[in-house]
Amino acid sequence: MKRKRELTNHSNKNSVTPKRWTVGIDLGDQWSRYCVLNEEGEAVEEGRFRTTPGALRKHFAGSEPMRIAIEAGTHSLWVSEHLRQFGHEVLVANAREIRAITHSDSKSDQLDAEKLARYARVDPKILHPIAHRSMEMQRSLNVIRARDVLARMRTMAVNAVRGLVKPCGHRLPLCSTESFAGRCRADLPAELLDIAEPLLKQIELATAQITLCDKRIEELADGVYHETKALRQIPGVGALTALTYVLTVADKRRFSQSRGVGCYLGFRPRRSPVRRF
């Protein structure tokens, strides 16, 4: 069977426009593979395109509305938003629930794309579709994630300084991270301070950046995500914890019962199958 390279060329003036075609896309960091099935389940088109907004628009913006299945991953958020803007129905598959793809012995990008298309054509529930948070919420969550990276970098630098001075017979006293650089400069001898100084500067820089992130998180919690106000009334819950919770849960209407939130966050013991002898 001859494969066509351009998805936008699947129809012409002399042919009947298909009512419902199904597409599976295996998203890659540089290139993505796709497979198109017609109403009879025949693979009529397959190919690849660069994983960029421009290439996605070129291949899908001019097509008739289709059902498109992709796997959840790094690029699935922006890809799904673009495809929906083009008028397509998009299913974002939960990769952990489709072991026939993730654990296949004959795994390839093209086969994965075809499997996604066939599952979406037969029964979308097989894919256990997930709901992405909005792009605005993802950008807000990225502020929290950036802060987490800075905090871990700072902790690593502090531990490195403490570890470097111990073999030389010095032990730094316990103190807050914000005052750590000052205490080191006051307690360490010149020969050790000269070695630790580059790390101390990085600790101070990270502390300043974390402070800016905290300020931004406070602004988001107070000015954008007003749901955090109720959570912050709980003792010990500040803007960071409340905002993280709100952005993680995203749309609360996804849960029919409040107990479902705990399961979504992983607060549920794993269930083992019952064995009967």
Residue by residue, pLDDT tens for the chain (277 residues) are 344 444 544 444 334 434 589 999 999 999 999 999 999 889 999 999 999 999 999 999 988 999 999 999 999 999 999 999 999 999 999 988 887 776 666 678 889 999 999 999 999 899 998 888 899 999 999 999 999 999 999 999 999 999 999 998 888 889 999 999 999 999 999 999 999 999 999 999 999 999 999 999 999 999 999 999 999 999 999 999 999 999 998 887 777 778 778 877 777 766 665 555 5
Q: φ, ψ for residue 138 (rounded to 5)?
A: -65, -40
112 and 84 in a common domain: yes
111 and 68 in a common domain: yes
113: in domain: yes
Q: Between the CA of residue 259 and those of 63, 77, 246, what are the distances in Å?
A: 41, 26, 16
123 and 139 in a common domain: no
121: in domain: yes
Contact in structure between 177 and 203 (CB atoms under 8 Å):
yes
216: in domain: yes
247 and 155 in a common domain: yes
Domain count, the chain: 2
177 and 96 in a common domain: no
Contact in structure between 49 and 35 (CB atoms under 8 Å):
no
What's the angle, vertex CA 118, arms to CA 13 and CA 20, rounded to 5? Answer: 30
Residues spanned by the domain of 97: 17-127
184: in domain: yes
150 and 226 in a common domain: yes
Contact in structure between 204 and 181 (CB atoms under 8 Å):
yes
143 and 101 in a common domain: no
pLDDT of residue 213: 97
260 and 141 in a common domain: yes
The residues that bridge with 43 in the sheet, in sequence order, are 37
pLDDT of residue 259: 78
CATH of the domain at 40: 3.30.420.40
pLDDT of residue 70: 95
169: in domain: yes
pLDDT of residue 35: 95
146 and 96 in a common domain: no
152 and 231 in a common domain: yes
277: in domain: no
The position carrying tokens 């914000």 is 178
Of 80, 102, 127, the domain-final residue: 127
> Which pTM was predicted?
0.77
| Structure-token pair, residue 214 | 């905290």
